[in-house]
């Protein structure tokens, strides 16, 4: 049965709880244990699928098609363990399950209450797959004391009581603010936060304290004394140059040792940190910088394209170069010529997106990349717009466009080279969708197989004839334009196994022009850069030597 580490936060939000959890996962792996990470979010949305990327950052999609919080992306990037549908839950999902059961009569006429019905539902979620791994790390979103979070805190308290002694521990993240006037780190907010936690029955075993300065011995003793935590379980979390330093930094501060001590695991297996040493070596000893323009819509909030930014960094690691990604709002190109802005970039990436705003700008960016022979990677909407560009400017279909925008505008303006898919095959069954289906969870979601054309650039890059990649979209390039577009040089080099859905397009007569209907960025890891990103950055590096 798995040991459980519950990770909570206090004082302020955005302390890097997700990163600390992910780093702890990596450290336990380095000591030879198997891990799984889980996120419990107190908000009432059923899943983050319908939340604005401006507010909530990217939606991370799992192989089994769940739309989850971007923290699951961190978990995967640090542990390499593919997250599942059952690794992310929100209050909204919990309540909707409870209410569904109530309607079905499962509770046999009982009064439905937060305790025990909601807390039981949460506990059932926590227990899924508990026999599969050595450690289950469960992060609770938000901070202690939030009204919405209470049922989760109560559930983890109960869960730890239901289990044998020593099976569950609590790790709490807080902030030690630095007061410049007195030149001191203040421990009071941490004391209050722990007091709050203890008032609901949870005593932390490990305290992780974010601070801009090292924690002096005196302060560490004070925290231990007032918070009822062992001194060596007060872990400093310093600010880092790169998130990928977290495993090594936390290891230096003794986090993994403190966690193993709390479980009384002795002797602790020796850690093998080579993976993270290599990652840091590649980051720190990069030669030169390549500049990549990301022409997108949600450019104000970097978290909206979190996995893309990370995958580019990984691509840089594979080539020992730094990647400087610069975000450009696609809408600008609807008003002005893209050439002055795009000149000087070594590669152009057009990411995924929804809605018409900015798409004409993305089309112009694709055209610039194609004509000027700048490496281009189009992801999802970025692929669709590259196909529209090719249809308009190579195949002469002047009014080519996507049905998505006609659907929004309520009138037909375009020849739909990208159309609304209503029925498709997943594994060995058919999935159907009605036009007016709910907005949530109705896309083609999760991992699908694609067959690569032997001899194509992508087959060479992947080194394989079949691939599995993650999807999240409603619209598809229409295969009926294949012959016409291939005749002009845009090859459909990856297809769904039934040959109906174009998954990859590439231009043969171009140094590097690839559009993919899926999201390769979701599967990239610092210690295993995604082949497409690695090769895209290699192509950019080549250009950077030329200019």
Task: Cite the active site residues.
Answer: 380, 519, 521
At what angle are helices 531-546 and 306-319 packed, to 10 degrees?
60
Closest CA to 10 of 163, 258, 168, 210: 210
Q: Is the Cβ–Cβ distance between 417 and 387 less than 8 Å?
A: yes
Residues 333 and 389: their CA atoms lie apart, in Å, by: 14
Figure out which of the listed residues 472, 523, 525, 541 binds ligand GLN, where binding follows CB under 6 A: 472
At what angle are helices 274-284 and 306-319 packed, to 10 degrees?
90
By beta-carbon proximity to ligand GLN, the closer residue of 226 and 354 is 354
Q: Is the Cβ–Cβ distance between 157 and 202 less than 8 Å?
A: yes
By beta-carbon proximity to ligand GLN, the closer residue of 142 and 382 is 382
Strand ranges, E, within 112-265 = 135-140, 168-175, 178-179, 184-185, 206-211, 234-238
Figure out which of the listed residues 48, 247, 296, 352 binds ligand GLN, where binding follows CB under 6 A: 352
By beta-carbon proximity to ligand GLN, the closer residue of 141 and 353 is 353
Figure out which of the listed residues 475, 492, 512, 518 binds ligand GLN, where binding follows CB under 6 A: 475
Figure out which of the listed residues 338, 353, 401, 502 binds ligand GLN, where binding follows CB under 6 A: 353
Q: Is 304 a residue that touches ligand GLN (CB under 6 A)?
A: no
Q: Is 24 a residue that touches ligand GLN (CB under 6 A)?
A: no
Question: 10 Å Cβ neighbour count for 322?
Answer: 15
Could you tell me the two tokens for 300?
A: 């104000």
Nearest distance from C-beta of residue 431 to ligand GLN, angstroms = 15
Q: Is 470 a residue that touches ligand GLN (CB under 6 A)?
A: no
Q: Is 494 a residue that touches ligand GLN (CB under 6 A)?
A: no
Nearest distance from C-beta of residue 423 to ligand GLN, angstroms = 15
Nearest distance from C-beta of residue 537 to ligand GLN, angstroms = 21
Figure out which of the listed residues 457, 470, 474, 510 binds ligand GLN, where binding follows CB under 6 A: 474
Q: Is 473 a residue that touches ligand GLN (CB under 6 A)?
A: yes
- 101-109, 192-200, 275-283, 350-358 -> range binding ligand GLN (CB under 6 A): 350-358
By beta-carbon proximity to ligand GLN, the closer residue of 361 and 526 is 361
DSSP string, 351-412: ----SSTTHHHHHHHHHHHHHHT--EEEETHHHHHHHHHHHHHTS--TTEEEHHHHHHHTS-
Q: DSSP label at 479?
A: G
By beta-carbon proximity to ligand GLN, the closer residue of 168 and 467 is 467
Q: Is 462 a residue that touches ligand GLN (CB under 6 A)?
A: no
Name residue 473's beta-bridge partners. 444
Q: Is 380 a residue that touches ligand GLN (CB under 6 A)?
A: yes
Side-chain-side CA neighbours of residue 532 (13 Å): 25
Question: 10 Å Cβ neighbour count for 356?
Answer: 15
By beta-carbon proximity to ligand GLN, the closer residue of 75 and 475 is 475
Q: Is 84 a residue that touches ligand GLN (CB under 6 A)?
A: no
Figure out which of the listed residues 67, 404, 503, 535 binds ligand GLN, where binding follows CB under 6 A: 404
How many of the chain's residues bind ligand GLN (CB under 6 A)?
10
3-state secondary structure 37-63: EEEEECCCCCCHHHCCHHHHCCCEECC
Nearest distance from C-beta of residue 397 to ligand GLN, angstroms = 19
Residues 320 and 285: their CA atoms lie apart, in Å, by: 7
Nearest distance from C-beta of residue 404 to ligand GLN, angstroms = 5
By beta-carbon proximity to ligand GLN, the closer residue of 3 and 472 is 472
Figure out which of the listed residues 248, 381, 458, 504 binds ligand GLN, where binding follows CB under 6 A: 381
Side-chain-side CA neighbours of residue 420 (13 Å): 14
Nearest distance from C-beta of residue 119 to ligand GLN, angstroms = 36
Residues 134 and 241: their CA atoms lie apart, in Å, by: 31
Closest CA to 504 of 334, 379, 331: 379
- 293-301, 349-357, 455-463, 501-509 -> range binding ligand GLN (CB under 6 A): 349-357
Nearest distance from C-beta of residue 412 to ligand GLN, angstroms = 18
* Residues within the interface to ligand GLN (CB under 6 A): 352-354, 380-381, 404, 472-475
């Amino acid at each position: 049965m798995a040991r459980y580490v519950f990770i909570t936060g206090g004082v302020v939000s955005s302390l890097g709880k997700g990163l600390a959890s992910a780093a702890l996962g990596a450290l336990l792996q380095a000591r030879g244990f198997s891990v799984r990470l889980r996120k419990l979010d107190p908000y009432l949305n059923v899943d983050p699928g319908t939340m604005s990327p401006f507010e909530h950052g990217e939606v991370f999609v799992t192989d089994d098609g769940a739309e989850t919080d971007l923290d699951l992306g961190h978990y995967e990037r640090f542990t390499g363990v593919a997250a599942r549908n059952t690794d992310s839950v929100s209050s909204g999902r919990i309540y909707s399950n409870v209410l569904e059961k109530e309607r079905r009569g499962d509770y046999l006429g009982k009064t439905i209450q937060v305790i025990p019905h909601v807390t039981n539902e949460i506990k059932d979620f926590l227990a899924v797959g508990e026999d599969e791994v050595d450690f289950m790390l469960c992060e609770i979103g938000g901070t202690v004391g939030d009204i919405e979070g209470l049922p989760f805190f109560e559930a983890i308290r109960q869960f730890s009581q239901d289990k044998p002694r020593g099976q569950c521990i609590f790790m709490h993240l807080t902030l030690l603010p630095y007061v410049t006037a007195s030149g001191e780190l203040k421990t009071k907010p941490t004391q209050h936060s722990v007091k709050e936690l203890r008032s609901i029955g949870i005593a932390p075993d490990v305290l992780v304290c974010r601070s801009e300065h090292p924690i002096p011995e005196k302060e560490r003793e004070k925290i231990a004394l007032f918070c009822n935590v062992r001194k060596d379980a007060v872990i400093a979390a310093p600010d880092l140059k790169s998130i990928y330093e977290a495993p090594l930094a936390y290891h230096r501060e003794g986090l993994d040792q403190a966690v193993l001590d709390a479980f009384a695991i002795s002797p602790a297996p020796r850690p093998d940190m080579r993976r993270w040493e290599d990652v840091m070596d590649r980051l720190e000893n990069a030669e030169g910088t390549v500049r990549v323009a990301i022409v997108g819509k949600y450019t104000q909030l970097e978290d909206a394209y979190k996995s893309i930014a990370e995958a580019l960094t990984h691509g840089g690691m594979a080539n020992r170069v730094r990647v400087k990604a610069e975000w450009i709002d696609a809408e600008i190109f609807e008003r002005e010529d893209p050439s002055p802005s795009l000149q000087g970039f070594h590669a152009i990436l057009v990411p995924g997106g929804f809605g018409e705003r900015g798409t004409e700008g993305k089309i112009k960016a694709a055209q610039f990349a194609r004509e000027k022979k700048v490496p281009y990677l189009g992801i999802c909407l970025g692929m669709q717009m590259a196909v529209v560009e090719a249809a308009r400017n190579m195949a002469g279909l002047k009014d080519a466009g996507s049905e998505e925008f006609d659907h929004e505008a309520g009138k037909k303006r375009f020849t739909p080279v990208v159309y609304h898919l209503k029925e498709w095959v997943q594994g060995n069954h058919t999935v159907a969708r009605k036009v007016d289906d709910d907005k949530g969870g109705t896309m083609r979601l999760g991992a699908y197989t694609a067959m690569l054309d032997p001899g194509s650039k992508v087959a060479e890059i992947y080194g394989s004839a079949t691939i599995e990649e993650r999807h999240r979209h409603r619209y598809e390039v229409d295969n009926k334009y294949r012959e016409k577009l291939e005749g002009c040089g845009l090859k459909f080099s990856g297809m769904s196994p039934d040959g109906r859905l174009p998954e990859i397009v590439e231009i043969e007569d171009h140094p590097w022009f690839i559009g993919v209907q899926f999201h390769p960025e979701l599967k990239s890891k610092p210690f295993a850069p995604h082949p497409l990103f690695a090769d895209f950055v290699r192509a950019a590096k080549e250009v950077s030597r030329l200019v």
